[in-house]
Amino acid sequence: MNKLQIYPVNDKHINFYLESRNMLINRKYSSSSKIISKLVHYNWWFSQKKRRSYIVEKNNKKLMILTADFYFSNKRQFIYTGLISCLNKIDLIDLLRAVKWQNNKVNLYKNAVNIISVHKKNLFGNKQQKFFKFSVLNKNTNLYREAKKVIKFNNKFNTYYKIIK
């Protein structure tokens, strides 16, 4: 079994990041299915400060980009994690190992709330959230209302959370 290499995204990856984000597999399960232009992407890239991203490679092939957006609301930290595929198909074991790495990294932020959104049509994504101990974020809770102040949720997605202890 070949080991995954995981390293931070830097400015040299700006176009690769955009190409990956614009792949059909990612647009299909994204809040926006539109292709992002270079100008819009470059503006976002150089102005956003809340996202940390990591490239996951195996055998010198980029598999995915793991993302984590950091927000604060009412003295509570929210970490909104996601994934951008770099290939049309990723081995299930590699995907689970990468998401486990991401969860371990996020688990360093004690008392934060880790939130994920999974497109309702993404059956695997909606199943794997239980494996990683996420729970449904009910829209009728104070936690949801607080998170909604800093994170834009979409009705096409199921939203899950876990409080990091």
The pLDDT value given to residue 74: 84
Cα R_g (the chain), whole angstroms: 16
In percent, the amount of the chain with pLDDT more than 70 equals 99
CB 4 within 8 A of CB 68: no
Give CA–CA dist 159/153, Å, rounded.
Answer: 8
Who has greater pLDDT, 58 or 75? 58
Provide the 10 A C-beta neighbour count for residue 156.
14
**H or E stretch at 124:** helix 123-131
What is the model's pTM?
Answer: 0.94
Provide the 10 A C-beta neighbour count for residue 89.
8
Quick check: helix, strand or coil at residue 56?
A: strand
Average pLDDT over residues 43-57: 94
CA angle 57, 97, 129 (to 5 degrees): 125
Instruction: For the chain, give percent helix, strand, coil, nearest 5.
Output: 35, 30, 35
Who has greater pLDDT, 49 or 135? 135
CB 58 within 8 A of CB 4: yes
Give CA–CA dist 44/151, Å, rounded.
Answer: 16
Average pLDDT over residues 142-164: 95
